[in-house]
Structure 1
Amino acid sequence: MTAQLQTTAPRPTPIARILNFLHRAWIAELRVYSSIARAIARRPAIPHGGTGIGYHRPVLTVLFIFIGLSALEIPILDLIVHPWPVARITLLVLGIWGVTWMVGLLCAMIMRPHSVAPEGVRVRSGLEVDVPIDWDDIASIAIDRRVDEPKRPRVTESEYAERMQDETNIEIELERFVAIRLPGLAPKGGTHQVDRIRLWADDPRAFLDAARPFLTAP
């Protein structure tokens, strides 16, 4: 597609920003615990008849390091503030919550993979991002590894890119402009009209193999 569809949205008010932040924080908190529960039950969020494709491999080591350091920090701080019970209990609660949150984030990345299913593709990332795309809207899917500039927005013009460490390796060309919704408020979040989607898959060949039967179906 060569045409581009531009949309504008009014700048959100400070109250709207605060309410949106609180809502997103609450949803993220719930998904931390639901993701841990899914990991314990070994029930990833993959639609019936679908295939899950992970995207967490590039950051797995970093997440394990952060979890280990956060867990190690708890007894060290406890020894430092041992004479002050209020500070000790407060830091203990915060420390346990922090480790739990990091474990939940790791579980979310593993238990909420990209999915290729009979109803379409779902592009996911962490605790929040979940973008469904119907097969009727997909023209083609190809392996195409690209590295973008750091801190590049997810949506640029009519392209949405869900990167992992600034990289993508799957490109989905759409038949037409499709509305997608991202977490947060406009301009970075909210609804966007796109005709191309790029994402990172740990195994791009498996992603393509899972999608091929749906793309070639009559």
Structure 2
Amino acid sequence: MERQLPARLTGLAPIVLPLAVVALARAMTFTDWAVANTFWAALLFAWLVTDSLMLGTIAKAKDRRPGLHASLGALAIAAVVVLAGAAGPVRSTIHALPPLVAAAALTIALFLGWSALRFLAAVRQGQPIDAAAMEALPESMAPVVRFASAESRVMRLALFGWRRAQDIPAGAVGFSYHCYLLPMIWTLLVLQGIELAVMHFLLLQWNPTVAWIWFALGMAGGLWIMGLAQSFRIYPVLLTEEGLRVRSGIMIDVLVPYAAIGAQVSGFAREQVKDGGTFNQAVLSWPNVMLALDHPLRVKPLIGRAREVSAVAMRIDDSAAFNEALAARCDGAGK
């Protein structure tokens, strides 16, 4: 644990420190000194923002050698911050410096043009929109792209997923796990709706703006839960030709090769499920299937960090049929 903490801090430093420098540089533009010396404040602000973002990009890159696209992306972000982030008097001085404005605009245009070409090339190669967006943007923007992609996916399911059939590819067998789960989620949604209505009415008596903001956030949260519930129905656990595909809505999608499955565990205890090496797919319930793996498997859920696991626990509606079908697949794979 003592070794992990410094490693995490080291990993966060290239992100946190540049942001802190940019925030301090922006705060500097609001000082009396900056108002009295707008020209020097403008140059200092531009230098601090550009230098900190570039150093952060270099620190995050493999072997401290960022690619040209990543470097141009850092410069483009710095250009946007420089043009729009300073206090009024300093910002006016920046806009009154044609060489600085031209360099910033050219940097932004080059980055957007190059990114658009990379995006179109990835789409033509058949990559999904989110994967193409990751190709087009710097690696530092990958978490933002993943978050936006997940949010868009959930909202589409909430609004348009009601009649969508289960996602079971050809040659695969699906096993549902939503029958026990959906009644609890719909009950939660009803209770959330009642709470939202009551709180909205009470907040209207105090501040209508706050009331409508609260209402919008509550509706967004309700749609998110609704989309997540739809994903539990649409994406069942699969037995495919390649292996067991453990899914839990849009949150989990992990392929476990049949060769990695050591045994189907029966009568497992609480300690086994709660063990840090167990990957638990069950949501709001206790698992009824557990698999011991022959060797550790690295998994990366939508929420949470990647980790190595030695067992997989699941909740399956028809666990007997699942265990029988899995045993047949494992036997067919030579296990």
Q: TM-score, normalised by structure 1?
A: 0.72
CA offset digits 1:132-168 (Å, max 9, x no partner): 112233344x36253526x935x33xx4333444632
- Given candidates 103, 125, 143, the residue that maps to 2:248 is 125
Matched, 1:97 2:220: yes
Q: Does 1:50 align with 2:206?
A: no
1:67 positional shift: 0.3
Go from structure 1 to structure 2 and tell me whether the alpha carbon gap of 1:57 and 1:169 turns closer, same or farther (over 3 Å shift).
Answer: same
For the pair 1:206 / 2:325, whether they are aligned, the reply is no
Which residue of structure 1 lines up, in the alignment, with residue 8 of structure 2? Answer: 11
Between structures 1 and 2, the one with greater strand share: 1
Q: Is residue 2:292 matched to residue 1:173?
A: yes
SS of residue in 2 equivalent to 1:167: coil
CA RMSD of aligned residues (A): 3.5
Shift of residue 100 of structure 1?
Answer: 0.7
Give the number of the structure whose alpha-carbon radius of gyration is greater.
2
Question: Which residue of 96, 105, 110 maps to 2:233?
Answer: 110
Letter in 1 for 2:226: V
Give ranges in structure 2 of 5+ residues lacking alignment.
17-139
What is the CA distance between 1:191 and its match in structure 2?
3.4
TM-superposed CA distance for 1:68, in Å, is 0.3
Q: Flag the 1:11–1:78 CA change in 2: closer, same or farther, 3 A.
A: closer
CA distance in 1 between partners of 2:269 and 2:160 (Å)? 32
- Higher helix residue share: 2
Q: Which residue of 2 aligns with 1:215?
A: 330
Deviation at 1:32, TM superposition (A): 1.4
Amino acid at match of 1:191: R
| Structure 1: tracts of 5 or more residues without a match | 1-7
Normalising by the residue count of structure 2, what TM-score does the alignment of the two structures yield? 0.50
Q: Is contact 1:148-1:166 (8 Å) kept?
A: no
Of structures 1 and 2, the one scoring higher in RCO (CA 8 A, sep 6+) is 1
| Percentage of pairs with the same residue | 21
